[in-house]
Structure 1
Amino acid sequence: MLCQACGKKTATTHIKTVINGKLTEYHLCSECAQQKGYGDLFSNWGMDFGNLLGGFIGNGFTSVKAARCPTCGASFDEITQSGKIGCADCYKTFREQLLPVIQRIHGTSRHKGKVPGGSALRVTGGHHQMMPVKESPLDEKKRLLKQAIEKQDFETAAVLRDEIKEMENHG
């Protein structure tokens, strides 16, 4: 496929945008992509972040060829090759294939965003109210382990590590 900008070189950068539900695709050579500001974000980091997700997915997964995201049109094979999720709906479409990968990368599949003071905003009856976030016993142990390591209290850290392993294996 030729670059849509210059029409001379092979397109190596493929950009998909979804605006108001309308999918638009751009196919550019590396030079035109650089000129338009679509260079490789991670090229100067010394790591191949583009293949990070693809590497995790590629280990032990068979491709899901038939399924495509209804919003952006990405296939699981494309996600595997690029290491990039097409859009938010890809998480729903490829949930079963992505969950184990996300668990391996992050250690959990449950998102715990940062909230000020360990609280979350709850809206009830039109009123906004800050409510404390309940921490699971396992999460509490992990938090305490991190604190023990930061304080260089390695004996406590070892005990907590063993308790965490026990909790993960049996509960």
Structure 2
Amino acid sequence: MYCQNCGKNPATTHIKRIVNGRLSEAMVCSECARKLGCGNFFGNYRFSLGELLSGLLEQEESPEEVRCPVCGSSFEEISRTGRVGCAQCYQTFRRRLLPVIQRIHGSTEHRGKKPSQGKMILRPQTGMRVVPQKVSDLEQKERQLQEAIASQNFERAAVLRDEIKAIKDTKEGKNHG
């Protein structure tokens, strides 16, 4: 479509005016728009609105292009399924995941199923896992039991199993008594 004012150049600006209560519309070229005093919101600066907006936005890879280096998941897949592919995904997509996690869970720190026992704390700000210093006897014995079984030291495993049972029985007695 050509300019409705000069008829020479392609129309690039849609002008709407209300004069004496009547709406008039016209498609004009940028030169006529400038002469009519429309479309020049930035004074003598020579740039388009598109240039302004593109300068404000960061040029970053699209979400489909960024993939977790370990499992290959993309942020789009994680968003669609609601499941993170692996532990590395939290670091790879950290900047985009933290606001979502904060909104859903109310916190960005995960303390596992039993926060009062504080098994392992994930601190997303640093991406580090912190194991609390104080480990209960029961947890220590359970870990030793798993190590004994893994190394096929079944005699030691049997002793640890009995010790774990005794600790649990003692705790149950305190809870019920």
Q: Using CA pairs under 8 Å that are at least 6 residues apart, name the structure with larger relative contact order, 1 or 2.
A: 1
**TM-score past 0.5 threshold:** no
Could you state the TM-score of these two structures normalised by the residue count of structure 2? 0.31
